[in-house]
A and B are shown apart, each in its own frame.
Chain A
Amino acid sequence: MLTETEPHYRQPLLRTRFHERMRAYSQVDSFIPWSGYSTVDVFTSVEQEYFAIRNSASLYDLTPMVKYRVAGPQATRYLDRLLTRSVAKLSPGKVAYAIWCDDRGQLIDDGTVFRIAESEYRLCTAERQLDWLLDSSIGFDVEITEVTADIAALALQGPCSCSVLRAMGLQGVEVLAPFEFKHFVFGAGTAALVSRTGFTGDLGYELWVDPSEAERLWDGLMDAGRVRTIRPVGSRALNIARLEAGFLMPNVDFVSSAHTLRNGTARSALEFGLGWLVDFGKGHFTGRRALLEESRRKPLRRLAGLDVAGTKPAHNALLYSDRAGRRQIGSVTSAAWSPTCKRNLALAMLDAPHFDMGRQVWAEIYVNRELVWQRRMVPARVVERPFFAPARRRATPAGDF
């Protein structure tokens, strides 16, 4: 194992401040890279971790998520030109899910924007975006700094998450509404910014602290959550939860238009059904003219939720309009068996004419029976997203489970 004193080129992946704590919990030693950091894929078993998210409380290391500080007199105008939704309407103390597009209206990335103060924001993104953010700042009095390494973050998700926070001493956290955040102090004066946000579609919080407080935060949460069987979870369990919630996964459900090389592989915001995040009335933003023109036409494709027959996840399945598989009409981008919905779920990009609630399409699924591969044509139905949306995710005050 490499030590901290190794030069950077011997240590290609960085470690977050939670690394030692996570290693102690890891039974299968399965780490994967994420944005240049080493993160956990699975601690024990995907199923156990998944059920912690849905039935009790789960901890997930968010530190590698790329974070930018956007501040300055024109920060709001800057973000309103960058993002498709209105930032001026976001009040301090609030968070918004947002997307941004290139000149042609094609999706670059999605993320969350925190209005920290009147003219200070935090933008959390999946991919590094500094060049785009800086080029977008030409002509604006705004300062953009990458602060990924300056903040350690944990996602605490699950029905018991509010109770765990209260047990840790965060008085009044239950009245925090979805997409709100607030500063709290716990333990021996540890300051944390707590936002009611997450990637699971459940009741949950994200906690942002100074890296020096990281282990204290971890220990505090694990102690406070012990009676509620809190459990660290890895990316694979989270991936099932986010699919149930109907959220897009970068580089899985979409490829940033900044990374697509082939003609016609970039996708517009409208094709993902993200038109609700596009505010044509707020003034100009990058991609507005292209999206406006596109909105007047019919979109070519649409992201669809699918309910696939059977129990075999339709990973990467090609989709057809007919059982014989003569006419391909799309393909699956994410698929999983949902233990909570008891349904076989998928997200798929469909040719627009087939995007119709209740429409039946056919998925071509390959099944491995002890290395004997079989091809199955399985019916699938276009259904509404999210697949799973419990009332507790929005209830305020948050439930005390």
Chain B
Amino acid sequence: MSACRYDCIVVGGGHNGLTCAAYLARAGRSVLVLEAQEAVGGAARTREFAPGFRVSACAHLLHLMPGWLSRELDLPRHGLRMAAERMPTFALSAAAGVLRIDPRTHGAPAGLSGVDARAYPRYAARMNRLAAALSALLEAVPPRLGTGAWRDRLTLLRLGARLRFIGRRDLREALRIGGMCVQDLLDEHFESPLLKGALAFDAVLGTNYGPRSPGTVFTLLYRMAAGTASAHAVAQPAGGLGALCEALAAAARSAGATIRTGVPVASIVLRDDRAAGVRLETGEEFEAGCIISNADPATTFLDLLGAEHLDTGFVRRVAHLRTRGMTAKLHLALERPPRFAGLEDASPGRIVLAPSPESIECAFNHAKYGEFSTLPALEVLVPSAADPTLAPHGKHVLSAVVQYAPYRLAAGWTEHRHQFLDAILALLEAHAPGLRDSVCAAELLTPQDIETQFRIRGGHWHHAELALDQFFMVRPVPGAAQYRAPVHGLYLCGAGCHPGGGVMGVAGRNAAREVLREAA
């Protein structure tokens, strides 16, 4: 099969795999991307879920990808356009009305009054400063500890200096709140349940945590930090998230990369204890100097490579990764635009239904014991409001991220997914009367569906829970935190690596840099 030899093979054409491929191809490497699905994009894909209705199948907002990445890869030239940018968040509650929170402003949210309105700017300013300091960490390749290599020392030194520069007061506050639960932090500052609910929701979105779980201030800061470099704040690409991946694929192709879809990789082939190629499920083999896996770490190491080619201690760490998703995704095809009480129209914004931190915690309680939340917390978008191409004329799509849906439902997902769908629809109906009657198709993705449809073991959209113990120098596990696997020639580039999930692309870029550095 020497005809099929490449410098690099990227397993999986998600946004990180494509980003990695684009950077490698631009550096002159011959690159082959192998994607199992019929289209690239992975969990950042736009799919038709009902005739004429298309939706971002998993991730539905672009708010973490750094502007520099988009510029370096020239994504606008490759077709990336935003249907909506700087989208505001509307926090809705039947009791307290509407709050409008605009991204990147320190000003108090519209609809807020009294002490909270006065406290908000100070809170937002400090959190943004801490997030900005943390953002430096996100873009770096994590250093290895105890190596004595100048590169690792330099990275540590740079991070130390960065911390030093945030000043004594902020550093002390960062140390104080870093491991805290978000509800305690919010209770220190605010009174409004609705405001606290909206802010706490951001801290637990996509996680296995409730607002009272320790470490949720960290997850909030992480989300804010990852967003600081974004060019568009919270944005919705025209054509959905799939359009972003199409642009990434175009960037990779124009640099010379070959992208094949519909070709699931069965295994990574070793030769002389070095990753030397991949074998497809069809049996076809490709050779390459190095293999970069966009698949999650557990899939990469335990399924594609196989535990027998790895050391027990390493496998033990991979097996202990927390990879179970807790988040469901709902797509609705609507005959009419939804009318949310308190909002003027189906506005291009992000609607958060989390009336208080307590309500989120109550929703979380169910999930802890293997039940779905009967009153879940939701992030709702009506993508067709800003991008009419997603639905037939006059009709709409609604896309919602639903907290919480345990990976393993004690009662079984096959038997009880309808009850869950009912609970979510009832909640939506309460905020948008008449919505239920306008539903002509619905698609509900539980973590198990996400696992099978997007080939993410555990169905966690970050591939592995984002938490202090699975972050930076220990993400995904010690021994693979610099994008390099313990097997020569094998790299990771997915969300399971630092800096993690969300549609960011930095893991893909960093992995490409490591590959190029090794070969140089």
> Which A residues fall within an 8 A CB radius of B?
77, 81-82, 102-103, 132, 135-136, 138-140, 283-284, 286-289
Contacts and interface: CB of A to CB of B under 8 A. Distances in A.
Contact of B313 (A103, A139, A283): A103
B147 to A, nearest CB: 14
B323 to A, nearest CB: 14
A289 B306 contact: no
B269 to A, nearest CB: 14
B312 A139 contact: no
Interface stretch (B150-158, B314-322, B445-453): B314-322
A286 B311 contact: yes
B309 interface: yes
B273 A286 contact: no
Contacts of A139: 302, 306-308, 315
Given A77-B308, A103-B313, A140-B308, 9 more contacts: A102-B313, A103-B312, A103-B314, A135-B312, A136-B312, A136-B315, A138-B302, A138-B316, A284-B273
Contacts of B311: 102-103, 286-289
22 contacts: A77-B308, A81-B308, A82-B312, A102-B312, A102-B313, A103-B312, A132-B312, A136-B312, A136-B315, A138-B302, A138-B316, A139-B302, A139-B308, A140-B307, A140-B308, A284-B309, A284-B310, A286-B311, A286-B312, A288-B273, A289-B273, A289-B486
A242 to B, nearest CB: 28
B354 to A, nearest CB: 38
**Which DSSP category, helix, strand, loop or mixed, fits chain B's interface?**
helix
B301 to A, nearest CB: 9
Nearest to A135: B316
A171 B85 CA distance: 89
Interface residues of B, number: 16
A284 B314 CA distance: 13
Contacts of A135: 312, 315-316, 319
B486 A138 contact: no
Interface string B435-479: 000000000000000000000000000000000000000000001
A84 to B, nearest CB: 12
Interface of B: 273, 302, 306-316, 319, 479, 486
Contacts of B479: 103
Contacts of B314: 103
Nearest to A132: B312
B182 to A, nearest CB: 34
A289 B312 CA distance: 12
Which of B302, B314, B315 gathers most chain A CB within 10 Å?
A: B315
A154 to B, nearest CB: 33
Contacts of B302: 138-139
B315 A138 contact: yes
Contacts of A132: 312
A73 to B, nearest CB: 13
Contacts of A286: 311-313
Closest 3 CB pairs of A and B: A139-B307, A103-B311, A103-B313
A132 B319 CA distance: 13
A61 to B, nearest CB: 32
A387 to B, nearest CB: 35
A136 B314 CA distance: 10
Nearest to B314: A103
B112 to A, nearest CB: 51
A154 B301 CA distance: 43
Nearest to A82: B312
Contacts of A287: 311
A136 to B, nearest CB: 4
A139 B307 CA distance: 6
A16 to B, nearest CB: 31
Contacts of A81: 307-308, 312
Nearest to B309: A284
B225 to A, nearest CB: 32
B482 to A, nearest CB: 16
Which of B273, B312, B315, B319 gathers most chain A CB within 10 Å?
A: B312
A81 B314 CA distance: 13
A138 B302 CA distance: 8
Nearest to B310: A284
